[in-house]
C-alpha cells in the first residue's frame, strides 16, 4: 500500500487521511493541546495519593501516517486500560518525510521523549 510520494522538489503528497474519534464516554478523558505534541490520557477514578502505572503509547503509522485519534489506535488503548488502573499517554507527534533523508524520521522521537519526561515527573 502506498502511503505517500516525495517529489524531487521536496513536496510530500499523503494518500491517506486519518479518521478522528471523539473521546471515550466510559472513562474520564482529558485532552490537552500544546505547541509541541498533543497529549491525551485516560485515567480511572483513584484516591489522590495513589500512584498509577504509566503506559506510553506511540501510535502506528511508522511516523508517516495516522494519529492517536484514529479509531483503531484509540480503541486499542481503551482495551489496554480497561481493567487495570493504568494511565495511558499517547503523543500526537509530527509526521515525517518532509525531508528526503529517511534517517530524519528518528528526529520525531525527541519531542515525544521530552513530553514523556515532562508528564512522568507530574505523576
pLDDT per residue as tens digits for the range 18-59 = 666 665 555 444 444 443 333 344 444 556 676 777 777 766
Domain encompassing residue 93 = 4-122
Flag the least confident range among 31-35, 78-82, 89-93: 31-35
CATH of the domain at 43: 3.40.50.1820
The conformational region for residue 61 under phi > 0 = left, psi -120 to 50 = alpha, else beta, is left
SS3 37: coil
Helix (H) or strand (E) holding 74: helix 71-80
State mean pLDDT over 67-82. Answer: 74
Nearest to 36 by CA among 119, 102, 105: 119
Structurally, how many domains does the chain consist of? 1
d(CA 94, CA 66): 10
Amino acid at each position: 500500500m502506498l502511503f505517500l510520494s516525495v517529489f524531487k522538489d521536496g513536496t510530500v503528497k499523503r494518500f491517506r487521511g486519518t479518521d478522528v474519534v471523539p473521546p471515550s464516554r466510559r472513562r474520564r478523558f482529558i485532552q490537552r493541546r500544546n505547541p509541541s505534541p498533543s497529549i491525551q490520557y485516560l485515567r480511572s477514578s483513584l484516591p489522590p495519593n495513589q500512584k498509577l502505572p504509566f503506559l506510553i503509547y506511540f501510535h502506528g503509522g511508522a511516523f508517516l501516517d495516522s494519529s492517536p485519534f484514529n479509531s483503531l489506535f484509540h480503541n486499542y488503548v481503551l482495551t489496554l486500560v480497561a481493567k487495570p488502573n493504568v494511565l495511558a499517554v499517547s503523543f500526537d507527534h509530527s509526521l515525517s518525510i518532509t525531508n528526503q533523508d529517511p534517517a530524519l524520521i528518528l528526529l520525531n522521537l525527541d519531542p515525544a521523549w521530552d513530553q514523556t519526561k515532562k508528564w512522568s515527573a507530574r505523576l
